[in-house]
Amino acid sequence: MMNRELSLSTFEHAKKIIPGGVNSPVRAFGSVDTFPIFVQKANGAYIYDVDGNKYLDYISSWGPLIFGHNDEDIKSEFIKAIENGITYGVPSYVEVEMAQMITDAYPACEMVRMVNSGTEATMSAIRVARGYTGKKKIIKFEGCYHGHSDSLLVKSGSGTLTFNTPTSLGVPDEFIKNTVVCRYNDINSIIDAIDDDIAAVIIEPVAGNMGVVAPSENFMKELRKITRQKNIILIFDEVITGFRLSYGGASQIFNIEPDMVCFGKIIGGGLPVGAYGGHKDIMGMVSPLGKVYQAGTLSGNPLAMSIGIKTLQKLKDNPKVYEDLEQKAIKLEKGFKENIKRLNLDFKINRFHSMMSLFFTQKEVNYYEDVQTSDVKLYAKYFKSMLEQNILIPPAQFEAIFFNTAMSEEDIKYTIKANYNALEMINA
């Protein structure tokens, strides 16, 4: 058994002074029935805990570390940037440079506003969409996560579209009564839900927060068609997919131009950043240009902009990065599938480009209900076995694993071997 005593004692201490001992719930490792690792340092593809254990890291800080931990170029850029100060509260050139890079890469974004997290990006985009259309309701999809703002913490209640329930205490019913919850990949659920008061539809163009579920081509095309016909703002939440699936994100891969796009994670290179953008007429609503208020003391922070720009620049200069990430994902998928077959098991793997999830279910996973058939207890066992073998995967079934360019062929091979051992153990 791996020694994780210091992590455990740190967790016990943390629980006394931080709710649940963590600053974001999934980090408590609660749904995989263990306690978290506490990190000492990270480098390249690896993360090291306070007990001195080394793990191959498939969390990659939930997405931003596309070049792995402590990438030399990004680190040097950070050191260079900090020489010029940490925050100004008045405009700086790097903010303009970042906006130029985003607007160049996403035709849907003629203008962009920086914020500090994905939550802020989606919350603000929705406010702008409402301000622009003068309509109240929004549509989201069950299983898609867009951060923790009140109107998005909602799930459909008892199979009806009309009586939704908040997914958190502290969110009054009144706050979610204008959020309609639809079924991902099911265009009829949208058709049924649309009325004259829908301001926006917000969607993860490839779902990553129910595990990876890709949309059918027809669903995406129809969604764009209907929203355009009905003057509904289509918001792509590309907080995970933006600059990760390709430089132009899911918008580019599906060749679909949404009306607004939300970003996070990657564009900050690992510092807290988000952004939302859209066509000029829509973004013209944002204050001080228009009457939709949205602000942020630390928004466009120069350090975050500098390493975000460096990250995007590296991606732009090396388009092979996307091939590299996808090749790693393909190899892993192939290896996992062979293991599943060799062990006479029947689990499902969903992969879309470099986004991938292993579901502990016999059912094909195309809808949120399919995701729900996954055996989370098996996932917990699997997680713990992988951890014992020095591999860190997301401590929850309904997430994607994140590849980074620092991972080597050997790392992928080792992961396939560890996956075999873990599945064999589960099967015993």
- Least Å distance, CB 388 to ligand PLP, is 27
Is residue 119 a contact residue for ligand PLP (CB under 6 A)? yes
Catalytic residue among 49, 237, 259, 370: 237
- Beta-strand relationship, 111-115 and 137-141: unpaired
Q: Is 62 left (phi over 0), alpha (psi -120 to 50) or beta?
A: left
Which span (102-110, 118-126, 216-224, 388-396) binds ligand PLP, by CB under 6 A?
A: 118-126
Among 239, 267, 391, 412, binds ligand PLP (CB under 6 A): 239
Q: Provide the Cα torsion 239, 244, 247, 253; round to 10°.
A: -90
CB of 93 to ligand PLP, least distance (A): 25
Q: Which of 64, 242, 249, 264 is in the footprint of ligand PLP by CB under 6 A?
A: 264
Active site residue 237: yes
Among 57, 142, 204, 259, contact with ligand PLP (rule: CB under 6 A): 204
What is the nearest approach in angstroms of ligand PLP to the Cβ of residue 397?
A: 15
Q: Does 183 bind ligand PLP (CB under 6 A)?
A: no
Residues numbered 273 to 332 that lie near ligand PLP (CB under 6 A) are 274
Residue sitting closest to ligand PLP (CB): 118
Closer to ligand PLP at the Cβ: 181 or 422? 181
Q: Which stretch binds ligand PLP (CB under 6 A): 64-72, 116-124, 275-283, 361-369?
A: 116-124
237 binds ligand PLP (CB under 6 A): yes
Residues in contact with ligand PLP, counted by CB under 6 A, come to a total of: 16
Contacting range for ligand PLP; rule: CB under 6 A; set: 4-12, 35-43, 236-244, 351-359: 236-244
CA distances from 181 to 62, 71, 158, 298 (A): 25, 40, 12, 33
Asked if 145 is part of the footprint of ligand PLP (rule: CB under 6 A), the reply reads yes
DSSP 386: H
- Tell me, yes or no, if 186 is annotated catalytic: no
Residue 124, interface with ligand PLP (CB under 6 A)? Answer: no
Secondary structure, 3-state, 285-347: CECCCCCECCCCCCCCCHHHHHHHHHHHHHHHHCCHHHHHHHHHHHHHHHHHHHHHHHCCCCC
Shortest separation between residue 18's beta carbon and ligand PLP, angstroms: 17
* Phi, psi angle pair for 350, to nearest 5°: -105, 130
- Residue 71 vs 399, nearer CB to ligand PLP: 399
Q: Does residue 140 belong to the site contacting ligand PLP (CB under 6 A)?
A: no
Q: Should residue 240 be labelled a site residue for ligand PLP when binding is judged by CB under 6 A?
A: yes
Q: How far is CA 53 from CA 44, 261, 341, 350, 390, in A?
A: 15, 39, 31, 30, 8
Q: Which of 135, 137, 140, 265 is catalytic?
A: 265
The separation between CA 386 and the C-alpha centre of its own chain, rounded to angstroms, equals: 22
Q: Is 189 in the site for ligand PLP (CB under 6 A)?
A: no
Residue whose structure tokens are 């466009």 = 300
Which pair of tokens denotes residue 410?
């050997």
Is 363 among the catalytic positions? no
CB 203 within 8 A of CB 236: yes
Burial of 48 (0-12, 13-18, 19+ CB in 10 A): middle
Distances (CA, A) of 346 to 53, 149, 167, 375, 395: 32, 38, 32, 12, 22
- Identify the active-site residue in 46, 55, 106, 145: 145
Provide the annotated active-site residues: 145, 237, 265
Which residues contact ligand PLP by CB under 6 A?
A: 62, 117-119, 122, 145-147, 204, 208-209, 237, 239-240, 264, 274
